[in-house]
Amino acid sequence: MPGSGFRGNPRQLWNAFRWSMKGLQAGWRHEASFRLEAMLAVVLVPLGLWLGHGPLEKIALVLPAVLVLSAELLNSAIEAVVDKVSPDFHELAGRAKDMGSAAVFLLLLLTVLCWGLILGPRWF
């Protein structure tokens, strides 16, 4: 379809970058969980790059921390939309928020699992 999709226009690319930075700023400014997980990632990402033996281990140590941040931003976006659409309590609204939180929790467990499986045998 003509005129649809990304065609590599530098202005579109720049705008997409700016909107992404605004999203990161909003996450940092308004979400305590995101700030905590970002601080954890600031430690885990360089540590994972240093401790991982080879590219696959490095990816397995770094990727879960980045996925946690991504999921936290999506969870926060879901919560913001739910709060905007339905400020009163509704079972479906609560379920949506709980499921977003569960997604972040599962990725946190994945982070612990990856770090434990890769580095645990070296340390114990």
Instruction: Specify whether 91 is catalytic.
Output: no
- Give the residue ranges of the annotated binding site: 31, 72, 79, 97-98, 101
Q: How far apart are CA 84 and CA 87, in angstroms?
A: 6
- Give the residue ranges of the annotated binding site for ATP: 31, 79, 97-98
Q: How far apart are CA 52 and CA 115, in angstroms?
A: 10
Tell me the CATH class for 31-123: mainly alpha
- Give the residue ranges of the annotated binding site for substrate: 72, 101
Extents of the domains making up the chain: 31-123
Residue 75 pLDDT > 50, yes or no? Answer: yes
- Residue 19 or 88, more confident: 19
Mean pLDDT over 60-76 rounds to 97
Measure Cα distances from 108 to 26, 37, 70, 99 in Å. Answer: 21, 9, 12, 14
Q: 115 is written with which tokens?
A: 């770090």
Q: What's the pLDDT at 26?
A: 96
Mean pLDDT over 69-91 rounds to 93
Q: Which of 37, 57, 72, 91 is catalytic?
A: 72
Average pLDDT for the chain = 92
